[in-house]
Amino acid sequence: MSNTETHPVEKVCGADVDGPPPPGVEILTPRDVPLGGPRAMRVRRTLPQRARSLIGAWCFADHYGPDDVTDSGGMVVPPHPHTGLQTVSWLFSGEIEHRDSLGSHAFVRPGELNLMTGGHGISHSEVSTRNTTVLHGAQLWVALPGEHRDAPRDFQHHVPAPVPLDGGEARVFLGTLAGDTSPVPTFTPLLGAEITLDPGAAVTLAVDPAFEHGVLVDTGDILLAGTPLRPAELGCTPPGRTTLTLANRATDPSRLLLLGGPPFPEEIVMWWNFIGRTHDDIVQAREDWMNGTRFGEVHGYDGAPLPAPELPNVPLKPRRRMR
């Protein structure tokens, strides 16, 4: 998915790793962002924002739907570039056709992980299929560490088996949780899982104390470590916890995404669909995209690629991290 926003100040970093973390649960509320077009499908974006830029290496989170595609037109994202990151596509309902410049042609379906690596550079398109009536899911990005930010193009598909919990179920698509480990390799330690909770259920999960964690609520009246979270909110906890307790106070089943990873120690510059380390990295990536180099071509998409927006008139500089 393409990032339709461009911020003039986009040098960001992960959680502070020096000194004790703040206690409790930090709550991030989403903002609505259109994907573009006269009948634009809208998404709810919780990462990045001024209060927090990353959870581990997770640097971008869009949550969308349930979206009636007869009203919105669904998802139609022409070929666009990525560099310095991985995209993680996860659906709750619907179907999306994916094509990329590696030559991958795949379908994103509910409960199935599609992970694309755009280290040195990749381009891809995403279009909801004719079989889709309701589109509902999440698009996530992972920042690549400096030593791997020029990694070659790659595409991984994985269907995690459901893992029973006492009061729910988990599907672990990255990392390890509840005794299950995803076979998909990552460049930094990560956790990514869909969790469903029965009405009135509470589960306590063992987690890595080196990780900070984020809980993105899709449906339900959720308590994270005793803190209420509403649908579309992202609750964040600092490192140091060995367990996380999740409770569903609703009379219907709930669903959420659990994300985690150790605090990302590097500063990154994030603009449009690019992640670099300096302003010049972004300038070069944009120039390469507009000149038709580095990112390759997407075959099979009927239409023109997305042009890059104009860069701001001032260099991309650090923004002060707020906690």
pLDDT tens digits, 65-108: 999 998 888 899 999 999 999 999 999 999 999 999 999 999 99
Distance of alpha carbon 275 from alpha carbon 119, whole angstroms: 9
Classify residue 256 by burial, with Cβ atoms within 10 Å: 0-12, 13-18, 19+.
buried
pLDDT of residue 42: 86
- The DSSP element (H or E) to which 238 belongs, if any, is none
- Token couple for 19: 């000194």
CA distance 289 to 292: 5
Residues 6+ apart with CB under 8 A from 130: none
Beta partners for residue 74, in sequence order: none
Tokens of 251: 């009379």
Task: State residue 71's pLDDT score.
Answer: 83
Take residue 174 and report the two structure tokens written for it: 């990255």
pLDDT at 70: 87
> Residues 282, 276: contact at Cβ < 8 Å?
yes
From first to last of its 323 residues, what are the pLDDT tens digits of the chain?
666 565 433 344 444 333 443 458 999 999 998 875 445 678 999 999 888 999 999 999 999 999 999 888 889 999 999 999 999 999 999 999 999 999 999 999 999 999 999 999 999 999 999 999 999 999 999 999 999 999 999 999 999 999 999 999 999 999 999 999 999 999 999 999 999 999 999 999 999 999 999 999 999 999 999 999 999 999 999 999 999 999 999 999 999 999 999 999 999 999 999 999 999 999 999 999 999 999 999 999 999 999 999 999 998 965 444 44
Cα dihedral sign, 226-232-238-243: positive
Q: Give me the residue label for tokens 């002060």.
A: 320
Nearest to 211, CA basis, from 173, 256, 176, 165:
176
Closest CA to 323 of 11, 16, 3: 16
Integer Cα distance of 31 and 59 in angstroms:
15
One DSSP character per residue, 86-121 reads EEEEEEEES-EEEEETT--EEEE-BT-EEEEEESS-
The amino acid occupying position 175 is G
Q: Which residues lie across from 52 on neighbouring strands?
A: 49
Dmax over CA atoms of the chain, in Å, equals 55
SS3 content of the chain, % helix, strand, coil (to 5): 5, 45, 45
The predicted structure's pLDDT at residue 215? 98
Q: Which amino acid is at 97?
A: E
0.75 exceeded by pTM: yes
- Alpha-carbon torsion 228, 253, 87, 171, what sign? positive
Nearest to 170 by CA among 191, 149, 188, 187: 191
| The two three-digit tokens of residue 190, written as one number | 């990560």
pLDDT at 34: 82
Q: By the 8 A CB rule, do 119 and 144 touch?
A: yes
What's the mean pLDDT when you consider all of the chain? 90
Pick the closest to residue 252 from 202, 216, 200, 217 (CA basis): 200
Selection from 206, 185, 212 nearest residue 56 by Cα: 212
